[in-house]
Amino acid sequence: MIENKESVFVRELSASLRKQGFHVRTEVSNMGQSADLVATRGRWVTIIEAKLGDWKRAIAQCRAHEHIADYICIALGSVSVSDRLRDTASELGYGVIHYNRSVKRFDWVLRPKLNRAVWRPQRKYWANMVRKQNYGN
């Protein structure tokens, strides 16, 4: 199968996160959606929606992750990060990661805030479900 640009982007982001000590799973289901990346370190769960351009769609997808993730981020592969995205993410407490093409590096534009809207029963149910899945990555 030919990989599209977004899946290559997700793969590179996964590698970068693993180097930072995260345990990374990709395409993890959550309440009828599929999260691009779930990065865990210790007991903390970070969900990342990766997009090459359409950050508004990423924001919409992140809403469901608020029930289960301690931190929520958007990773963007576009040339630049707009002020509007920065403001929206800041308001929602989401982090923003940008891929710097010139140096081939992922940079933090905005660090995420701890999400306090987690619904513990949903988180527990989701975590059990993820454990049962055979995530090859």
Partner 1 sequence: MAIEHWMMFGTFAEQRHFVYPDRTTYQGTILNGNMVAHAPDGLAAFLLEKTAGLSYIIDPMTHAFQHHPRFVSDSDGKPKSSIQALAEQYGSLLTDIVGKRPLVPRDLRDSVALNDLVKNCLAFQSEKLSQVMASRDAMKYLDNANVQLKPAALVAPYFYMTETSYRDWLPICVNAAQQARKLFPTSRLFTSVVVNQGLLLNDDALESVSTQLSGLDVDGYLLWIDNLDEQRAGSSVLNQVLMLSRALRKNKSRPVINLHGGYFSILAAGALGDEAFSGVTHGPEFGEFRSVIPVGGGIPIARYYLPQLHARVRYRDMVRILGATGWRESAAIFHSNVCDCLECKETINGNIQNFLEFGRGNVRGVRRSGGMVRIEYPTAEAKMHCLRHYLQRKRIEYQFAATASKEQLLENLQNGFKQLEEVVGLDGVSHLQLWQDVLNPVAHA
Instruction: Summarize as ranges the residues that interact with partner 1 (CB under 8 A).
Output: 1, 3-4, 6-7, 27-34, 63-64, 66-67, 117, 119, 121-122, 125, 129, 133
Least distance from C-beta 83 to partner 1, angstroms? 23
Q: Token pair for residue 72?
A: 């929520």
Cα gap 112→65, rounded to integer Å: 13
Cα gap 115→125, rounded to integer Å: 18
* Nearest residue (CB) to partner 1, 26 versus 46: 26
* Nearest residue (CB) to partner 1, 63 versus 111: 63
Structural contact between residues 42 and 53, judged by C-beta atoms closer than 8 angstroms:
no
Number of Cβ within a 10 Å radius of residue 118: 16
For residue 87, which amino acid is it?
D
Cα gap 40→55, rounded to integer Å: 23
Least distance from C-beta 6 to partner 1, angstroms? 6
Least distance from C-beta 80 to partner 1, angstroms? 24
Least distance from C-beta 13 to partner 1, angstroms? 14
* Nearest residue (CB) to partner 1, 21 versus 32: 32
